[in-house]
Chain A
Amino acid sequence: MKKSLENRIGAGYSFLAPAIIFYSIFFLFPVIFSLLVSFKKWNMLIPFTKAPFIGWKNFLDLLKDELFLMSLRNTLLYALLTVSITLTISLFYAIMINKAKFSVFWRFIYFAPVVTPQVAIATIWGYLYNPNNGLLNAILRFFGFKGLNWLTDPSTALFSIILTAIWAGIGGSMLIFTASLKNIPQEYYDAAKIDGATGFKEFWYITLPLLKPTLLFLSATGLIGAWQVFDLPYMLGRNAPAKSVMTVSWYTYETAFQYLRMGRASAGAFLLFVVIFVITLIVLWIFRKGGIKGYE
């Protein structure tokens, strides 16, 4: 009996082994290694073992670096605005499309940006934002307004990038909302109608509470992704003053691979990890307050 149990445990671990090995090599080891790097002054050009240990200096230097603090502020702003606005608009579109004819067609149209590479999106939006020949300024000027320096003016550059990110992100969230909406039983709405509920009350008391698990999932994954954002700000914001558009991932990349300050870059990556972890916990706490209701 005991031997049979041991065999079964052994078999279990052997099935788990590929995943454990994979995660150990490609996740656990890099995480532990970069934590060690964050306490050293290392430029990758000398052996890691010869790099001097400098304690918390990398972390302290980061907290004194105005550019890092501004990149934290920019990333926070980017994350909060993109996630909240994207979710609001995509929920609105999902509800509209759910009731509309040709919903597959509309889903395809709104989902197209999600499968478009970010580099292509950045290039196209770069043309749209061109202050002299771009479409957006042409529209503004047509209505008698002054054109904007969308991507070079420090007061508009980050918001222009956020606008692009919202446009690019709506489709993905909308698709998940549409799937969740289809799962809400029609009986709830029928019963509410009998009780005299209007469209808004149906949304507020039935749709929204039952979409809470989806909202939790999209908020948590959206915030995690937004905190790690690199490509759009890097591609669109390079001509703007760095303090107005730089994100933490961009800062980390530049510090590591252009300045070869691997220790400081790793410290930045760890601070980013802590921030994402705390924010994810807060999101979980907010959504779980009062329980997450399912509908089955």
Chain B
Amino acid sequence: MNLPIYMDYQATTPVDPRVMELMTPWFSTKYGNPSSRSHPFGWEADQAVENARAQVAALIGADPREIVFTSGATESNNLAIQGIARFYKERGNHIITAVTEHKAVLDTCRYLESEEGFQVTWLPVDSKGRLDLAQLEAAITEQTILVSIMAANNEIGVIQPIREIGALCRRRNVFFHCDAAQGVGKIPMDVEEMNIDLLSISGHKIYGPKGIGALYVRRKPRVRLKPVLFGGGHERGMRSGTLPTPLLVGFGAACAIAKEEMVAENQRILALRQRMTHGLLNRLTHVEINGDLEHRLAGNLNISFAYVEGESMMMAIKDVAVSSGSACTSASLEPSYVLRALGVNEEMAHTSIRFGLGRFTTEEEVDFVIETVVQAVEKLRDMSPLWEMAQSGVDMQSVQWDAH
């Protein structure tokens, strides 16, 4: 077993060696610009691009012509939300999203609200991180053009009722965008069955390379977008810029592997997560699992360890690469906005650790992490005066702290 152990698969994943092997020739040997129409270097690159497009489409039950390649899920989310808002602004100015969405969705909606005159409804979630469908339905107005809800949350892995949301949006004639950066390749996603109009996918969350992603854009009934990037007219005019063939080949291969192996892989990862959950809960008290355990990605475990400060914990288990919040914000000391939205109090939010399990996680690693975490928590609690007070029966919530 090699140290450190990587347990941050929701932040990013290593490129699968099988993907790497397929990508490699496209850098230095088959290097044509897929837009070059005048020679075989261009033709073979174009063929590789279309092959990748078909692989991505197959994973989500789409037609290849509905796939727009982007530089990643952040760009996909921006293109979907800005693109719909600006194209359909005459039809309405109201967007609905949820407070636990990724920053790429939240900040884009906030931008449209402050700069371009849109109104945004920020739906709350329950204490398990799930959305209330009745609340969503009640929020839809005559002015609503878009509902943007993620498939699975990046911090707590909670899966939203996508099928039901899709049906609701279709019934109410509102476009449904789903940020599935954490969902695709991990849980079955089918744009037809789920009535999804726009779907964001990321390459590097599914053992493909960084710098590549896709936006699914429905053709029937047709969904139209105002592009964000112009010039050259690539991707049917929806996203200009030379297509990075090697990254596309890698992304396509990653999707093909996911399609093939997802079911078996999920079972294996789920068993590992359960082993880890039981291992920790059997040996530690005052531990809370954040987020719904039933509707959850197999590879996510988000736990708060009371009386242990998150950052100290990360230092104490430095042989294990984990995150104490979303990777995008983990350099900040703000408690996770996702956990706060679940009603987790500030202290418990600060003590949370996200364990992300994935394709290369082994049982041996899980056992090592259990052992390391248990020892670290016990040691840190031994040093904590708060823990001592709690152990001696002081009700921490009732303590009146003096300001000095």
Chain A complexes with chain B: no
Interface residues of A (CB under 8 A from B): none
- B residues in contact (CB < 8 Å) with A: none
